[in-house]
């Protein structure tokens, strides 16, 4: 088990060795560790290697000039200058919050960025300002639109954070596919099949093979098949893609650059890098903040009091599982699987820093 601070310092040091300023490296480490303690290890320390490889391949900029290229009082377009995604994203969300402070709501579209970790992190930045936070991003094309076999679109997550008064905040952060890609890799390693409804083969036939992406298969959108509403999942991931890329001038759909160095950058591009979209909405642009937040307490208490199904203990509010993981993991420490530890030891060796 690792202590939070040890992994935080290590991550910060890795990114500083890669050229990041201390301030930027702090933000990056904060996002990586937030993923770990919120029990989304798929977006945590396991990904440091991917960022490191991208940097070695010269495909990511650790000293970016992130800048506003267009703005109105309530909106802006930000160019990330090919930054590590966390840097472009956190500056963009800060800008959305500033704009909301003055204009009531703030909306920032970001292009020329990269993978940014967990979307929920940025939506939650709005909470302490009594604002609702929203974060969308497009991602590597792995998912086929309904009726299709072409990998056209990403797992494109949606994150929305809403503050409450005495209750903890409502934090929804979810991919627009039934599962994250990482779960396929886990099943494959264990030699297990996955349930139908996650992936299809290259002809569009349902598959339970977690390795099917390697032979022309694709992931399915939320809903799984047309009968169960996959076209609604397709609508959702399409909306996320359009907001993330077309407002900002980033690549859309199949043109989103891969977030791993072992996949080549496409020759053809239709925009700059990966795209994100951020929103901040002042609650008191609609209702007195305290009244809204007290009502949100009531909303949360009402839903928490729903009767559980016979085989369930309790009903959850979005954000509950992550918050509970956070208290547990901060106490117990962070577990790294041996393969991840080995990767980090190797990176530490390369960069002449310490990791045990």
d(CA 314, CA 17): 46
Best CA proximity match to 182, nearest among 206, 158, 157:
157
Q: Is 352 helix (H, G, I), strand (E, B) or coil?
A: coil
Q: What is the DSSP letter of 309?
A: P
Q: How far is the CB of 165 from a copy of itself (least distance, A)?
A: 12
165, 186, 211, 270: residue in contact with a copy of itself (rule CB under 8 A): 270
Question: Using CB under 8 A, which residues numbered 220 to 249 contact a copy of itself?
Answer: 222-224, 227-229, 231-236, 238-239, 241-242, 246-249
d(CA 241, CA 18): 30
Q: How far is the CB of 92 from a copy of itself (least distance, A)?
A: 13
Nearer to a copy of itself, 309 or 356 (CB): 309
* Residue 309 contacts a copy of itself per CB under 8 A: yes
Nearer to a copy of itself, 54 or 76 (CB): 76
Other residues' Cβ atoms within 10 Å of the Cβ of residue 21:
13
Question: Using CB under 8 A, which residues numbered 162 to 221 contact a copy of itself?
Answer: 162, 170, 172, 174-179, 195, 197-198, 200, 203-205
Specify burial of residue 232 (Cβ count, 10 A radius: 0-12, 13-18, 19+): middle
Residue with tokens 């208290």: 327
**Contact between residue 25 and residue 12 where contact means Cβ atoms under 8 Å apart:** yes
Q: What is the DSSP letter of 191?
A: T
Specify burial of residue 260 (Cβ count, 10 A radius: 0-12, 13-18, 19+): middle
Number of residues that bind a copy of itself (CB under 8 A): 85
Nearer to a copy of itself, 206 or 349 (CB): 206
Best CA proximity match to 70, nearest among 242, 248, 240:
248
104, 168, 182, 333: residue in contact with a copy of itself (rule CB under 8 A): 104
214, 262, 311, 352: residue in contact with a copy of itself (rule CB under 8 A): 311
* Residue 13 contacts a copy of itself per CB under 8 A: no
Question: Using CB under 8 A, which residues numbered 273 to 292 contact a copy of itself?
Answer: 281, 283, 285-287, 292
Q: How far is the CB of 140 from a copy of itself (least distance, A)?
A: 16
Q: Given the rule CB under 8 A, which of 31-39, 84-92, 142-150, 347-355 is the region that contacts a copy of itself?
A: 142-150
166, 189, 314, 328: residue in contact with a copy of itself (rule CB under 8 A): 314
């Amino acid at each position: 088990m690792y202590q939070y601070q040890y992994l935080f310092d290590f991550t910060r040091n890795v990114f500083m060795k890669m050229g990041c300023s201390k301030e930027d490296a702090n933000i990056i480490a904060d996002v990586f560790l937030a993923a770990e303690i919120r029990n989304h290890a798929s977006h945590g320390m396991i990904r440091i290697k991917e960022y490191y490889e991208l940097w070695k391949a010269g495909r990511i900029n650790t000293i970016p000039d992130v800048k506003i290229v267009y703005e109105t009082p309530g909106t802006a377009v930000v160019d990330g200058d090919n930054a590590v995604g966390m840097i472009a994203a956190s500056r963009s969300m800060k800008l959305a919050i500033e704009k909301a402070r003055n204009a009531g709501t703030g909306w920032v579209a970001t292009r020329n960025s990269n993978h940014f970790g967990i979307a929920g992190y940025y939506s939650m930045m709005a909470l302490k300002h009594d604002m609702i936070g929203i974060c969308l991003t497009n991602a590597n094309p792995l998912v086929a639109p309904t009726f299709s076999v072409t990998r056209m679109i990403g797992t494109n997550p949606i994150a929305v954070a809403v503050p409450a008064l005495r209750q903890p905040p409502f934090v929804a952060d979810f991919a627009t596919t039934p599962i994250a890609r990482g779960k396929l890799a886990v099943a494959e390693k264990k030699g297990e099949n996955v349930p139908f409804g996650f992936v299809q083969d290259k002809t569009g036939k349902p598959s339970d093979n977690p390795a099917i992406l390697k032979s022309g298969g694709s992931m399915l959108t939320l809903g799984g098949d047309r009968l169960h509403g996959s076209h609604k999942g397709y609508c959702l991931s399409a909306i996320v893609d359009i907001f993330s890329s077309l407002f900002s001038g980033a690549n859309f759909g199949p043109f989103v650059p891969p977030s791993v160095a072992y996949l080549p950058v496409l020759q053809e591009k239709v925009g700059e890098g990966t795209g994100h979209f951020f929103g901040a909405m002042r609650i008191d642009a609609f209702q007195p903040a305290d009244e809204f937040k007290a009502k949100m307490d009531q909303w949360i208490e009402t839903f928490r009091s729903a009767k559980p199904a016979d085989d369930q203990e309790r009903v959850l509010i979005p954000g509950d599982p992550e918050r509970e993981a956070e208290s547990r993991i901060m106490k117990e420490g962070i577990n790294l699987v041996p393969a991840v530890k080995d990767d980090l030891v190797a990176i530490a060796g390369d960069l002449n820093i310490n990791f045990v």
